[in-house]
Chains A and B, each alone.
Chain A
Amino acid sequence: MTANARPNLGGLFTGVTPPDRSSSIADALGPRAAAAGPGNGATPGNDAVTGKGSGRSTRSAGTAGLAARQSVRPKPAETPAPLPLIAGTTRSGVSSASDRDDHWAALQWLDPVRALGSYFDFMQGVLDAQRRVTISLASIVSAPVRRIGLWR
């Protein structure tokens, strides 16, 4: 360590020098990670994990907010629904510019590829929920056995 030329890493540790690559987990860290920080409260789905509050310092709150901002994505429910624009067309009988936009949105909604994607997204959600419930139950059932094994 003493003979060779050494890089100065100070900038990387203080934030002055940007890293060679971006974080590999920023996109995959969920909003629940951020929501567990102080002041943000625990999300209902994660009550068992977050318990009675974080107790972390306020210096982490900004971090939590940043992570939340980075990880929020549009939900499937925010996709424009076809029903209102069908009603609008019936009302006027003439297609306005906004109606044309609505028609385009409806066509997108009826796109079979998109519909398939939505179907599989939905099924994935159902499977994930099933998996979590099953693993939770298995963990609860096997916990006493594991505990005995740990201290044997």
Chain B
Amino acid sequence: MRRVVAIANGKGGVGKTTLTSGLAGQIAAAGRRVLVVDTDPQGNLGRDLGYGPQDGNSLGLAITHGLPLEVSRGVRDRLDVVSGGPALWDVSPAFTARGARGSTLPGLRPAIDGLRPSGTDADYDLVLVDTPPGEPILQELVFAASDYLIIPTRSDDASLDGLVVVAQRFAAARAINPELTLLGVVLFGVRAGSTRLIKRVRAALDDTLGGAAPVFGTSIRYLESAAVDMRSRGLLPYELEQVHRTATSARIKRLRKGVSANTADSLLSRDSSAAGLAADYAALAAEMMTAIGGQDRPSQVEVAV
């Protein structure tokens, strides 16, 4: 039974796209069938997953005209993607114009409801939807089509403003989708070892949420070098860790031959930090699936990731 999870915040640069691709890859690698839908006109998810920028035409026309969606199958094992892109800028004006005229548009939900993985009768286990920060109509369309919401946030004050924005949109969207549930908030991009800061921010977030949802126990660490390595090569965190393992043995071979260990295509990140980042995503994926399992009946979702 599929669950549709939106990743959203009212502020940009808080890790929505990185979190979406990282979680999707991690859960697909663990054996689940995952569909990722990129509703961001910037279409950065393609860079994270290594397939480059797309136009987003298919998704835009599916939302506004109900046309069948084009799905990029097998982006990773068990991981399919519906690409975003600049064509999604046209969705908000279309909704505004049609709403004023009293006519209607299909929206996102019928488009993704009909999608199935290829080569199997089974459904997707999880649909992760990445959202743009500054497009309220697109964000509400995603909320109207989702079962759960995860909010990534950073530790600064500006991120709190983003929380307020997304809370208002969430409440407005519940008029259409009363079952939409906040699954939790993820602290993203904090320096590993900043335990006092993390503790303080977590307490502040708990106050802000007022018990409506938990702050996930797992935070995603800030690693600029790993982020550059991943985006430039289209690697997910667990894949970067695997690349590091291979690269380490190659470095040792070069050193034995008396050649410089560093080459032009050397990774910027350290293997230990890549392993730590991959561990963060694995822990968060497990925590997310547990939280979904807690919201559903216990027998519907297995917890192990």
Contact = CB atoms under 8 A, between A and B. Distances in A.
Contacts of A78: none
Given A24-B140, A49-B106, A136 B173 contact: no
Interface in B241-298: 296
Interface string B129-151: 00000001100110010010000
A6 interface: yes
Nearest to A45: B66
B1 A21 contact: no
B171 A143 contact: no
Given A6-B204, A25-B141, A13 B209 contact: yes
B98 interface: yes
Contact of B113 (A21, A48, A50): A50
A73 to B, nearest CB: 6
B30 interface: no
Contacts of A79: none
A71 B172 contact: no
A82 interface: no
B114 A50 contact: yes
Interface of A: 1-2, 4, 6-15, 17-33, 35-37, 42, 45-46, 48-52, 54-57, 59-60, 62-63, 66-67, 70-71, 73, 131-132, 135-136, 139, 143, 146, 150-151
B305 interface: no
Interface residues of B, number: 73
Interface string B149-169: 000000111011001100111
B176 A25 contact: yes
Contacts of B157: 1, 4
A60 B43 CA distance: 28
A42 B211 CA distance: 38
A21 B170 CA distance: 11
B200 interface: yes
Contacts of B65: 131-132, 135
Contacts of B179: 59-60, 62-63
A60 B147 contact: yes
Interface of B: 1-4, 51, 54, 58, 61-62, 65-70, 72, 95-96, 98-99, 102-107, 109-111, 113-116, 123, 136-137, 140-141, 144, 147, 155-157, 159-160, 163-164, 167-179, 182, 200-201, 204-205, 207-213, 296
A136 B99 contact: no
B209 A9 contact: yes
Contact of B207 (A6, A29, A30, A135): A6
Nearest to A146: B70
A6 B160 contact: yes
B168 A136 contact: no
B208 A9 contact: yes
Nearest to A147: B70
Nearest to A10: B210
Contacts of B176: 23, 25-26, 29, 63, 66-67, 70
A59 B118 CA distance: 26
Contacts of B209: 9-10, 13
Contact of B167 (A1, A9, A63, A139): A9
23 contacts: A9-B209, A12-B212, A13-B209, A13-B213, A19-B172, A25-B176, A28-B95, A28-B104, A32-B104, A33-B106, A36-B110, A42-B114, A49-B69, A55-B113, A57-B1, A59-B179, A60-B179, A63-B178, A63-B179, A67-B177, A131-B65, A132-B66, A136-B67
Contacts of A9: 163-164, 167, 208-210, 212
Nearest to B175: A23
Contact of A143 (B70, B95, B211): B70
